[in-house]
Every structure is written in structure tokens, then in C-alpha cells.
Amino acid sequence: MNRKDRKGRKERLSHPGIRPPMTVTPDQSNHPNGSAAVRIVDLHRHYQMGETLIRAVDGVSLQVRAGEFVALLGSSGSGKSSLLNLIAGLDRPTSGAVIVEDRDLAALSREELAKHRLRTVGMVFQSFNLVSRMTLAENVELPLRFAEVDRGQRDALARKALEGVGLGARLTHRPSELSGGEQQRAALARALINQPKLLLADEPTGNLDSHTGTEIMNFIREFNQSLGMTIVMVTHERALAERYAGRMIFLADGKLTDDRTNSTAVTVNLQKDQR
């Protein structure tokens, strides 16, 4: 990271709190309803397993507009996680293009891809993926360390982020001392600490009971509706998608089989008192 970059970064983070940048990149997709946060063009991800070729992602094309809340649905093995990992830049396609915020991920070097993971996307997983020997505050500030933000600022931002998800009294606890719901809230705080434009969630409530899962989903909905963050969430629970997502995309055998608007999603203001 060059000096100018680092300085710019610090300035951007000098406004603490969970608040992603609200500017959107100009639309080059000619999409009628706003700019594209994610564009996927004839995407393939194949795995060679001995003699067998597994087409985990098999010719998917789609666009996600900035500010959308999209659920990716499909049975186990349909390619949902493979697709999400490609958007996250955790994996590279066999062929096809993934364009996130107008950047073609295939054109990025390893370092640039790492930067993409650090700054443009936030990610949460079914299994929380917190570092067990670190406190919650240390876990949450980890992305800021990678982004070379000053220590004093990191502490304040991590505290603020944890307060934002109701964990202000758990800063020095370790993940094993917390419930699943609390761990996932901490993982959310960590995903958002760098103010990403795009939140990618892979079965974020898969390991939680329904009450705790609802709590997590309400946070995700709030990030979407009050901060304008784009959400792509993998789930195999159709009811969850219907309640929260504005759009449902269905995958089967690595192919997109359906893509529809969901008008049954409930907005945050109507739900706020039910938290």
C-alpha cells in the first residue's frame, strides 16, 4: 500500500461507526433500475475431481443493483457458496467474468484482490469464523490492522462497531464465552468495520435458533435499508428469503433457474418494534 493510499484510507475511516460510503459508481450496464454493484457474465467454476468434472457454477449471468437485498437459494450442492466465494474474490473462475463495483476481479493482482476482500466486501459465514484466541474487540479490529489503521483509532472503531450490534459489554470476551448469536453479531461487526459497499452472507443463520436468527436478519436488513448496503445472502430457507430479501435467485446444478422480485419482504420500520 502506498503512502497516499494509506492516508486516504485513514481519512475515510475518521468518521467512525458502521456507515458504508453512500456514493455509487456510475452505471455502465444500462440497467434501467440503477447502477450494478455486481455483474456476473457467463460464469463457470469447475472442479476436477479425479475423472469427474464438477460444474459447481455452470454458466451463470446476473446483475445485482446497488442497494438490493438478494437471496441466493437452492438445495445443498447447487453452487451457492461457490458463486458467493467468486464474488468475494476468495476464488477465481474457470471462465466468465465477475465485476464488482465496476472492477473486473479477473484483472486484479493477488494484492488487489486482497484489497477487494478487505475494503469492498464484508463477509459472514454460517460458522462465524472468529479467531478463538482473540477477544471480540481484537477480532473486530483485525481488518483495520490489515488496512494499517492507527491503533488508537482501531480500538475506538471496534468498540463502536460492537456497540452497534449490542455487544458493548463484551469487548474483552473470547468467542467461546459467547452464545452463537453473539458470535454472529461480532462477525457482522467485523464484516462492516471497513465500511464495505457489499455484504456477502453465506447461510448466516444456519447455526442459530430461529429467534437468534431473526435478530441477525434484522441487523442485516437494517444495514440494507438504512445504510443502503447491497446484500447478497445465501440461504436454503425459502421462508427467510421471502421475509427479508427483495429478490430471490434460484440455483440448481450450478445454473440459474429462476430470478424473481419478492414483494413479501417486510421493511425495517414496520418491524423495528418487534426486535
- Report the interface residues with ligand ADP, using CB under 6 A: 47, 49, 54, 56, 74, 76-82
Segment 81-110, which members bind Mg ion (CB under 5 A)? 81
Q: In the complex with ligand ADP, which residue's Cβ is closer, 54 or 118?
A: 54
Smallest Cα–Cα separation from 205: which of 230, 223, 188, 191? 188
Q: Least Å distance between CB 82 and ligand ADP? A: 3
Q: In the complex with ligand ADP, which residue's Cβ is closer, 180 or 206?
A: 206
Segment 131-160, which members bind Mg ion (CB under 5 A)? none
Q: How far apart are CA 78 and CA 69, in angstroms?
A: 20
Q: Least Å distance between CB 64 and ligand ADP? A: 18
Smallest Cα–Cα separation from 36: which of 68, 61, 4? 68
Report helix angle 210-227 to 180-192, nearest 10. Answer: 20
C-alpha cell at 146: 490489515
Q: How far apart are CA 32 and CA 34, in angstroms?
A: 6
**Dihedral-angle region of residue 39 (phi above 0 means left; psi in -120 to 50 means alpha; beta otherwise):** beta
Return the one option of ligand ADP, Mg ion, none that residue 122 interacts with (CB less than 5 to 8 A, by type): none
- Is residue 107 a contact partner of residue 92, using CB atoms and an 8 Å limit? no
Q: How far apart are CA 168 and CA 82, in angstroms?
A: 34
Q: How many binding residues for Mg ion (CB under 5 A)? A: 1
Q: How far apart are CA 149 and CA 8, in angstroms?
A: 11
Q: In the complex with Mg ion, which residue's Cβ is closer, 81 or 214?
A: 81
C-alpha cell at 144: 483495520
Q: In the complex with ligand ADP, which residue's Cβ is closer, 214 or 235?
A: 235
Return the one option of Mg ion, ligand ADP, none that residue 228 interacts with (CB less than 5 to 8 A, by type): none
Helix and strand numbers (H, E) in the chain are 9, 10
Q: Least Å distance between CB 272 and ligand ADP? A: 32
Q: Least Å distance between CB 115 and Mg ion? A: 25
Q: How far apart are CA 255 and CA 150, in angstroms?
A: 45
CA torsion, points 216, 220, 226, 227, in degrees to nearest 10? 130
Q: In the complex with Mg ion, which residue's Cβ is closer, 81 or 205?
A: 81
Q: In the complex with ligand ADP, which residue's Cβ is closer, 22 or 239?
A: 239
Per-residue contact track with Mg ion, 24 to 63, x per CB under 5 A?
A: ----------------------------------------
Q: Which stretch binds Mg ion (CB under 5 A): 8-16, 78-86, 91-99, 169-177?
A: 78-86
**Could you say whether residue 224 binds Mg ion (CB under 5 A)?**
no
Which residues of this protein are in contact with Mg ion, per CB under 5 A? Answer: 81
